[in-house]
Amino acid sequence: MKVDKLLTEQRNPNTMNLDSLSTLEMVKVINLEDQKVPKAVAAETKVIAKVIDQASMRFNQGGRLIYCGAGTSGRLGILDAVELVPTFGLDPQRAVGLIAGGPKAVYQAVEGAEDSSELAKKDLEKINIDRSDTVISIAASGRTPYAIGALKAAQNIGALAVALTCVKNSEMAKYADFTIAPLVGPEVVTGSTRMKAGTAQKMVLNMISTGVMIKAGKVYQNLMVNVLPTNEKLVERATHIITLTTGCELKTARQQLKRAENNVPAAIVMQKTGLNLVQAQQLLAENNNCVSGVLKKWSQTK
């Protein structure tokens, strides 16, 4: 499909006089358009859930989440990947963000990089893409060659290929196992897909990665139990999580966190069961690091 025919490239009839509005009117118009984004994402929840289930199976068998895109889309993928590390205590190698043009493209456009399908293939080969991986290829237009190349490379090796776009019947969809396409409509500023399209993409990526992390046992109840207590604030958060989930006093929580060598899930299991660190770690390993699973099995043995 030609660029000028894409939904994301159409002129928005609600913002034709955008440059003539007062600042308050401009802000209100942008806000009204932004309110369309959650509805567009809501229409895709069924396919998002399917992607989470499929990606989780692969991730829990040692696969990675790999994000690929150009420009804004590539930056959003990188953002999602890097934030999983401190939030869920994830090994940085398990979530990888690739952007057309390489790291320098995060800050400055690299001419022609997004137009190369072969470049995506080479980038994925450099990180040794495997059939256990999930490749999430992101492009608002659904036609970026780099994004298409990533999907082709994923399918060729048997990895899960997921397309995230903001148009119907995209070129990317032809090469994807699943396509997520929240239709946010024309942008406030014509073609500026860092706005509504970017917001929709970020919301979808949040859902997918959070869902995969939950199914990997990195959330207990609604708490980030795999948080890495690498500074004073995070140590306090970890301690607070232990008190919330076990009902123990703050002093006891601090002691358990120390005994657990800063492993919050292990500290919770130790406090709940009376087991030592080695025993708690063994149970967690046997239950995919899922605290709920460990405690459920423990209660059944009592």
Residues that are catalytic: 83, 114
Instruction: Determine contact, residues 210/216, Cβ cutoff 8 Å.
Output: no
Q: Among all chains, which residue has been given the structure tokens 């802000």?
A: 27
Pick left, alpha or beta for residue 159 (phi over 0 → left; psi -120 to 50 → alpha; otherwise beta): beta
CA angle centred on 207, ends 203 and 209, rounded to 5°: 115
Separation between Cα atoms, residue 139 and residue 39, nearest integer Å: 19
Q: Among all chains, which residue has been given the structure tokens 């057309």?
A: 100
Take residue 120 and report the two structure tokens written for it: 């995506």
Per the DSSP assignment, residues forming a β-bridge with 102 are none
Phi, psi of 219 (to 5 degrees): -130, 135
Which residue, among 280, 215, 221, has the nearest Cα to 60 in the 3D structure?
Answer: 215
Alpha-carbon torsion 37, 42, 43, 47, what sign? positive
- What is the amino acid identity at position 75? R
Q: What DSSP string runs through 121-146?
A: HHHHHHTT--TT-EEEEE-TTS--HH
Q: Which whole-number Å values give the CA distances from 9 to 75, 118, 157, 193, 197, in the listed order?
A: 20, 26, 33, 8, 11
Separation between Cα atoms, residue 129 and residue 107, nearest integer Å: 25
Half-sphere exposure of 279 (CA within 13 A, CB side): 11
